[in-house]
Amino acid sequence: MCSHTVCQSTVIDIFVQILEGSRKNFMGFRAKYDMMNKTGKGEAMIFYFTGTGNSRYTARRIAEISGRELIDINEKIKRQDTGSIDAGAEVVFVVPTYAWRIPKVVEQWIRDTHFTGAAKAWFVMTCGDEIGNAAGYNRKLCEEKHWEYMGTAQIVMPENYIAMFAVPKPSTARKIIQNAQPRIETAAEAIAAGRMLPEEKATSIDRIKSRMINPVFYSLFVKADAFRATDQCVGCGKCGELCPLNNIKTEGGRPVWQNRCTHCMACICCCPVEAVEYGRKSVGKPRYYLDV
Ligand SMILES: Cc1cc2nc3c(=O)[nH]c(=O)nc-3n(C[C@H](O)[C@H](O)[C@H](O)COP(=O)(O)O)c2cc1C
Ligand code: SF4
Ligand code: SF4
């Protein structure tokens, strides 16, 4: 778990309040869900990938409501584990948005992994702003996997891309997470009931972003060259442990970044002493990590 102090206490606080505030809804919904299960509907296994915790949090909420098993894709990718998974009939992927699509590493992992028995797939994408035409690509992925496509939900959560932008201050992050609750609950209810997720129609600009800007973004920006550890580094090894791509080696007690990076922002946001910088872009910016 990350010990980053800027966000931790605030966010735990939010989490407890949200859970307490929504408990009634959960209980009512859970009862409905249990009934659906008795009639054979609503089986689902929830897979999540995360850099800074937003998608893990969202996946946990959905799992809590639906009572389904949660699987950590970070661990699978880190161990290069693409072994068959006995997934049941329904699979749910909760992931961040990278350049208006699901992260490439997750897409590849889904392609390479056999999900025994899976027939239907839902996608829940957390984002700082919007997901463009990610749904179009998720639909294609389902066609490849011979799954029925059950929709893509867009959940706006705090921005985490500190290599490019500023992240919201804790009070703003707290509001964004609160505002996300109805959409998370709507998605969880649709999944548990075996319904399609509500989707907005992609515009031509959305299609340009997901189709044309996405590959340019990866080739120009997604590199680890600019990462460095400052003299504040205490050699704790947390950045390397968290990196889902094993892209951080330790040399002389210090982290050194290699050339396999997906810009998930885990290493830079979770360093307990804020010793990771991304060129000059991150200098002086607060870090964001949702540690619940
Ligand atoms: C490499 C990268 C690309 C991103 N691209 C988008 C994007 O296209 N649209 C968007 O709204 N947010 C984008 N974001 C913001 C994240 O999708 C958002 O903060 C997400 O909730 C982070 O999830 P996580 O904490 O589970 O990693 C991007 C973040 C990163 C690190
Ligand atoms: S950069 Fe931060 S997380 Fe990585 S080893 Fe140094 S102190 Fe630990
Ligand atoms: S090096 Fe850092 S940003 Fe890149 S994949 Fe690893 S943890 Fe994520």
Tell me, yes or no, whether 94 lies in a domain. Answer: yes
* pLDDT interval class at 44 (50, 70, 90): confident
Tell me, yes or no, whether 134 lies in a domain. Answer: yes
Residues 231-258: what's their mean pLDDT? 97
Q: Which ligand has the shortest distance to the CA of 163? A: 1
What's residue 66's pLDDT?
A: 84
Q: How many domains does the chain have?
A: 2
154 lines ligand 1 (CB under 6 A): no
Q: pLDDT by residue (tens digit) across 194-213?
A: 999 999 999 999 999 999 99
126 lines ligand 1 (CB under 6 A): yes
Tell me, yes or no, whether 285 lies in a domain. Answer: no
Helix (H, G, I), strand (E, B) or coil at 5: helix
What's residue 292's pLDDT?
A: 87
Tell me, yes or no, whether 73 lies in a domain. Answer: yes
Q: What's the CATH number where 245 sits?
A: 3.30.70.20
Residues 40 and 179 grouped into a single domain: yes
Residue 29 has pLDDT above 90, yes or no: no
Write the secondary structure of 225-271 as one string of H (helix), E (strand) and C (coil). Answer: CCEEECCCCCCCCHHHHHCCCCCEEEECCEEEECCCCCCCCHHHHHC
Please say which residue of 215, 238, 263 terminates a domain. 215
Tell me, yes or no, whether 290 lies in a domain. Answer: no
State which H helix or E strand residue 46 sits in: strand 45-48
What whole-number distance in Å separates Cα of residue 49 and Cα of residue 56? 7
Residue 182 has pLDDT above 70, yes or no: yes
- Ligand 2 site, CB within 6 A: 229, 233-239, 255, 271, 273, 275-276
Please say which residue of 215, 236, 256 terminates a domain. 215
Q: pLDDT by residue (tens digit) across 272-286?
A: 999 999 999 999 999
* pLDDT interval class at 50 (50, 70, 90): very high
Residues 188 and 252 grouped into a single domain: no
- Ligand 3 site, CB within 6 A: 51, 224, 242-245, 247-248, 257, 261-267
Contact 120/91 with Cβ under 8 angstroms? yes
- Report how far ligand 2's centroid is from the alpha carbon of 218 (Å): 26
Residues 6+ apart with CB under 8 A from 18: 177, 178, 181
Residues 60 and 174 grouped into a single domain: yes
Tell me, yes or no, whether 229 lies in a domain. Answer: yes
- Reference 6, options 264, 230, 241, 274; nearest CA is 274
- Report how far ligand 1's centroid is from the alpha carbon of 81 (Å): 24
Residues 188 and 84 grouped into a single domain: yes
Q: Which ligand has the shortest distance to the CA of 266? A: 3
Which alpha helices (DSSP H) does 3-156 contain, by range? Answer: 5-38, 54-66, 73-78, 104-112, 134-145
Q: What is the mean pLDDT of the chain?
A: 89
User: Which residues span the domain enclosing 206?
Assistant: 5-215
Please say which residue of 215, 247, 265 terminates a domain. 215
- Report how far ligand 3's centroid is from the alpha carbon of 181 (Å): 28
Q: pLDDT by residue (tens digit) across 6-25?
A: 344 344 344 434 444 443 34
Q: What's the CATH number where 125 sits?
A: 3.40.50.360
